[in-house]
Amino acid sequence: MSTKQSAIIVGAGPGGLAASLLLAKAGVSVTVFEKDARVGGRTKTVTRDGFTFDLGPTFFHYTEVIEEIFQAIGRDAHADLNLQRLDVNYRLVFGQGGQLDCTSDLDLMRDRIADLSGEKDAQAFVKYVEENRRKLEMSKACLQEPWSGPTNLLSKRAMRAATVLRPTRSVADDLGRLFDDDRLLLAMSFQTKYLGMSPFNCPSLFTILAFLEYEHGIFHPIGGLGSVPARMAEIAKELGVDIRLGEGVDEVLMEGGRAVGVRTSTGEHRAEAVVVNADFAKAMTELVPDKNRKRWTDAKLEKKKYSCSTFMLYLGTNRTWDHLPHHQIYPSAPYVETLEDIENRHVVSWDDPSVYVQNACLTDPGLAPEGCSTVYVLVPVTHVHENVDWSEISVDYRERILDQIESKLGYENIRDHIVTEMMITPEGWGDYCHRGAVFNLAHGLDQMLWRRPQNRFEDVAGMYLVGGGTHPGSGLPVIFESARISSKLLLDDMGI
């Protein structure tokens, strides 16, 4: 009989797989239960009629965290994951007019800003980079360590970070100090959508999101971003991790307020620790009895703030779009109004919706048949809300969005070239996340640090959280960081 200590991981998303690598390397016996037939959760590819699409995330940036995780297990992330750096991070086509090809060549980026907005804003960009380089340096420890309560604010790491974080400001407020051109404020702030938030509500810490892209670049994993968890799963198996696909967890087993295992269709499975890598609210309400949760009860979860959702089109076309960049983003002219529609009014924007399009075959032609392309379309929208009935409007909204990418982003006559397609509405994301909130709990100051569900889950002993619902938050780099934080806590508790 094995004398190894054991851990069960619920969900084979990127965070759960990263945790499985670290725990297995440390000598823990790890079993991963995944309800789907493939790993990745929303971070996976789907294939239809010979076209391969990323289902969820498409940006792979700030690779430092995954690099360090792979180094810890004796691997090279860039070699294993086949990461290709993009020359143009993305093209911003502004509703107010003009466009900007954003790049990690900072001198070139400065010159492009000067051409678009003038010398003053070009110098402001230089200052922005310098400020955020320092902000990242001063705040990194706050994002790499767990937070257990407000007393952590008195720690040296918090005191150092407080000198640069400007906690009373939003991202938009902080950037407004620097840039006169509102288009540049958008260029440096739309990344708050990775957190499912508006830059006008998102804490100023997150001005670092755009900086990370400019400083470290954006990558495309050949085969799609969904190939990353697939490769991680292969490596995990090499380390002895038992990954059980198509076997979802029905319940977390509890004894005396402690998680001691899980129940699946094959019976009860016991372990010293349970790691939950699933949408937080969905996992709690479906897997952990309400009576076992004091801080995060069903009633309290209903009162929490949740991120936006997305309306998705996955289009296979019988032509290529080689004149268009890999990533394009259209922030609409009434950008503030569309954010209000999403976050506060909970209605759909029809007049001039913002939209993102990925043209992955420019970099990775193997994702489609020869001479063809995949076109991935994402529109930020409200999470599931009684104000919007997607069964009534989805067909019309598809037409509106096709009009938008034809007229704004250069996909001329795309309707004539669509040979296969899929659509997902916020209600369709409900299988993965509570209220279809694809970026999990919102990231306001009232739901960050110790106010977010803690990595060593405070309501259930023996349970640890990874993913966008715990500290540090949503987005692939920080989800990988959550796996590192929670794995360290678990190993410490095991005495390893």
Please give the full DSSP string across 275-292, using - where no structure is assigned.
EE-S-HHHHHHHHS-GGG
Per-residue pLDDT, averaged over 131-160, amounts to 63
The predicted model gives 294-314 an average pLDDT of: 93
User: Which whole number is the average pLDDT over 100-107?
Assistant: 97
Tell me how far CA of residue 449 lies from CA of 151, 153, 203, 383, in angstroms.
11, 10, 12, 23
Residue-level pLDDT at 1: 41
Q: Mean pLDDT throughout 198-223?
A: 89
Q: How confident is the model at residue 445 (pLDDT cuts 50, 70, 90)?
A: low
pLDDT at 199: 84
What whole-number distance in Å separates Cα of residue 183 and Cα of residue 194?
Answer: 19
Under DSSP, is residue 27 helix (H, G, I), strand (E, B) or coil? coil
Question: Which has the higher per-residue pLDDT, 161 or 317?
Answer: 317
Q: Work out the pLDDT band at 136, boundaries 50, 70, 90.
A: confident
Residue 204 has pLDDT above 90, yes or no: no
What digits encode the pLDDT tens for the residues 357-398? 999 999 999 999 999 999 999 999 999 999 999 999 999 999
Does the pLDDT at position 138 exceed 90? no
pLDDT-derived band at 51, boundaries 50, 70, 90? very high
Tokens of 309: 């959702």
Is 361 or 305 the better-scoring residue by pLDDT?
Answer: 361
Among 114-118, 185-189, 291-295, 473-477, the range scoring the smallest mean pLDDT is 473-477
pLDDT > 90? residue 154: no
Which pLDDT band, with edges at 50, 70 and 90, does 27 fall under? very high
The confidence score (pLDDT) of residue 164 equals 55
pLDDT of residue 190 exceeding 90, the answer is no
Tokens of residue 251, six digits: 């319940």
Check whether 155 has a pLDDT greater than 60.
Answer: no
Q: What is the band of 159 on the pLDDT scale with cuts at 50, 70, 90?
A: very low
Confidence class for position 193, pLDDT limits 50, 70, 90: confident
Q: Exposed, middle or buried, 495 (CB in 10 Å: 0-12/13-18/19+)?
A: exposed
Question: If you average pLDDT over residues 97-122, what whole number do you get?
Answer: 97
**What is the percentage of the chain residues whose pLDDT exceeds 90?**
78
Is it the case that residue 166 has pLDDT exceeding 70? no
According to the model, what pLDDT value does residue 200 have? 83
Phi–psi pair at 304, nearest 5 degrees: -75, 160
Does position 196 have pLDDT exceeding 70, yes or no?
A: no
How far CA 395 is from CA of 330, 338, 353, 421, in Å, comes to 21, 20, 16, 13
Q: What is the pLDDT of residue 316?
A: 98
Cα distances (angstroms) measured from residue 211 to each of 67, 129, 490: 19, 6, 32
| Mean per-residue pLDDT, 224-242 | 98
With cut-offs at 50, 70 and 90, classify the pLDDT of residue 283. Answer: very high
pTM over 0.75: yes
Q: Which of 25-29, 53-57, 195-199, 238-242 comes out lowest in average pLDDT?
A: 195-199
The mean predicted confidence, pLDDT, of the chain is: 91
* Whether pLDDT at 351 is above 60: yes
Residue 255 is encoded by which pair of tokens?
Answer: 């004894």
pLDDT on residue 170: 87
Predicted local distance difference test score (pLDDT) of residue 2: 55
pLDDT at 152 exceeding the cut of 50 = no
pLDDT above 80 (res 447): no
Who wins on pLDDT, 445 or 56? 56
Per-residue pLDDT at 305: 86
Greatest CA span in the chain, whole angstroms? Answer: 71
DSSP assignment letter at 155: S
Distance separating alpha carbons of residues 230 and 146, to the nearest angstrom: 28
Q: State the average pLDDT over residues 393-416.
A: 98
